[in-house]
Amino acid sequence: MSDSESTFDKLKGKAKEFGGKATGDDRMETEGQTDQLKAKAEGLGEKAKDKLGGVKDSLSGKKDDDA
């Protein structure tokens, strides 16, 4: 998932949460909170994957210019 997709999902979750609060729809509010957490987890997963790739490259002696 790209950063833009993660950001979109986070904003979508905020909108759902706000809509749920405004209308008193607890289910929609909870769905919005869940969407936001899902987007955050996916974003953290991507960051971890990038970090591990960098560690792998540094251990193998590969540099960015070698790509």
In the predicted model, is pLDDT for residue 30 greater than 60? yes
Per mean pLDDT, which range of 9-13, 18-22, 41-45, 50-54 is the poorest?
A: 50-54
Distances (CA, A) of 61 to 1, 43, 47, 55, 67: 28, 27, 21, 10, 12
Chain position carrying tokens 């008193």:
24
The pLDDT assigned to 60 comes to 81
Of the pLDDT bands very low, low, confident and very high (cuts 50, 70, 90), residue 48 is confident
